[in-house]
Structure 1
Amino acid sequence: MDITAPQVLVVDDDAEIRKLLARYVQEQGFRVLLASKCAEVHERIVTNQIDLIVLDVMLPDGSGLDLCRDLRAARSNIPIILLTALQEDVDRIIGLEIGADDYLGKPFNPRELVARIRAVLRRGIIARAAPPAGVLYQFDDFVADPSTRSVRGRDGADISLTGAEFDLLVIFLDRPGRVLSRDQLLDLTGRSHGGVLDRSIDVLVSRLRRKLSRDGAQPMFKSVRNGGYQFSAKVSMPDGPA
């Protein structure tokens, strides 16, 4: 096994499912670690370099949703794909709202899971590769630094964004004033593979609005009827770190 291959942590309380997924994901060229409960996930993260987590929602010592929320609260940006038996769209959207990068409903084809793993990892690689080092985006009272994938206010306070939120923000920062449809945003974020809801973009925009809102300020993300979204704030790119 290539020691430079991405390492995937598969978390499921069903031993047979863990064994099946581990074998298939390894056959596709990934390294795999396994966990059956929340406590083991924390142990694996501390002792290993994890590139992506495949996380079941139902675990014996807690909810995968709560674990996802805790990881994001701790500012972990490890990509997370949720495995869920929940059939309602609203339940799946909750997973996206708390910071998951994607989800897959049970039962599923392992080939689709691997396709989603590759898509999520590819989005991260693309995001890290561009724009060039040293480029900063200044907008409203915030500065975004793609090299560190961070956003901070003028007071220096960090704004905690998930990987998916930051990727979407940069797409808007690169296209200020343009109306972008949900389909365009899905394509640009690499989330356009089968089964992804248009609502996932709505969820991400809603989260960005909440995290980047200021009392009395005009909204940066405008909803355009039958169109999509428009980033209305002025964007500048000052030289060097702010």
Structure 2
Amino acid sequence: MTKILLVEDEVSIRKFIKINLEREGFDVFEAGSGEEGLEIAEREKPAIVLLDIMLPGIDGFEVCDRLRKSFPHLGIIMLTAKAEDYDKIMGLQSGTDDYLTKPFNPTELTLRIKSLERRLGGEDRSEKKGERFLESGIFKVDVFGHKFYKNGKEIELTPTEHEIVKFFITHANRALSRDEILNAVWGEEFLGDSKIVDVNIRRLRSKVEEDAAHPVYIETVWGVGYRWKNTANDA
């Protein structure tokens, strides 16, 4: 049973979400503030956190940043009552895997959670097929271990970033559209904005590139999307 931590200060919204998620078979823990959420996360080690932005005390952005530092492989979905792109982008840049604007349909939230579960590798890895390691030049992905290395040094990736890298490396040197990346990583049922791809790519570049402003490995293909450059033969 997947553990979910719900950090939301409005009691009525929190209870509504909790009831619906428990009906879907999730094990839900509640927190009414960022501080309480961090305490529960340390104790219960949830797989996914649903995190409101506007919280008493420390806000959702700060909570997200602290959670990501302590639990780099944690799945985080930001909940916001605002529709402005600024809040969405800020949440994603702070390490959020997904966002959902309130009010939302409980079915859509469940679909987002299940999509994130797949990115987290929720299925039994002993039953996975295919190669354990993917390599591209100086980069190496441990598919089963959810680890990513550059020149032998591990780089911490979020679950979403890990899936993007896997998709890039298995389609190296090919121009990939935003929709292709979105369908492969978030799933065809994803109902959100395709801009989520751009923000994740921006964050990923800051981790893999020497100079994110002049990317070498994750190239922009104008009018199409992005391309992962396999540098294996550059040496």
TM-score by length of 1: 0.86
**CA-to-partner distance for each residue in 1:97-150, whole Å, 9 max, x for gaps?**
2211111111222222122112211232378845646x3233333322222211
Query: Does structure 2 retain, via aligned residues, the 8 Å contact 1:221–1:229?
Result: yes
Partner of 1:240: none
Partner of 1:74: 70
Partner of 2:145: 148
Q: Does 1:102 align with 2:82?
A: no
Query: Does structure 1 retain, via aligned residues, the 8 Å contact 2:136–2:232?
Result: yes
For 1:232, give the aligned amino acid. K
Query: Does structure 2 retain, via aligned residues, the 8 Å contact 1:80–1:101?
Result: yes
For 2:15, give the aligned amino acid. K
Residue 31 of structure 2, aligned match among 29, 35, 55 = 35
1:38 is displaced (CA, Å) by 1.5
Q: Distance in 2 between matches of 1:179 and 1:25?
A: 38
Q: Distance in 2 between matches of 1:194 and 1:215?
A: 31
In structure 1, stretches of 5+ residues that fail to align are 237-242
How many correspondences in the alignment? 230
Residue 20 of structure 2, aligned match among 6, 21, 24 = 24
Q: Distance in 2 between matches of 1:152 and 1:100?
A: 21
For 2:42, give the aligned amino acid. V
In structure 2, stretches of 5+ residues that fail to align are none
For 1:80, give the aligned amino acid. I
1:194 is displaced (CA, Å) by 4.7
Query: Does structure 2 retain, via aligned residues, the 8 Å contact 1:176–1:234?
Result: no
What is the percent sequence identity of the aligned residues?
31
Partner of 1:239: none
1:186 is displaced (CA, Å) by 0.5
Query: Does structure 1 retain, via aligned residues, the 8 Å contact 2:78–2:100?
Result: yes
Q: Distance in 2 between matches of 1:172 and 1:127?
A: 21
1:188 is displaced (CA, Å) by 0.4
Residue 165 of structure 1, aligned match among 161, 179, 189 = 161
Between 1:217-226 and 1:86-95, the stretch displaced more is 217-226
Partner of 1:115: 111
Q: Cα gap change, 1:51/1:74 in structure 2, threshold over 3 Å: closer, same or farther?
A: closer
Query: Does structure 2 retain, via aligned residues, the 8 Å contact 1:127–1:167?
Result: no
Query: Does structure 1 retain, via aligned residues, the 8 Å contact 2:149–2:155?
Result: yes
The alignment yields a C-alpha RMSD, in angstroms, of: 2.3
Q: Distance in 1 between matches of 2:166 and 2:232?
A: 11
Query: Does structure 2 retain, via aligned residues, the 8 Å contact 1:209–1:219?
Result: no
Partner of 1:188: 184
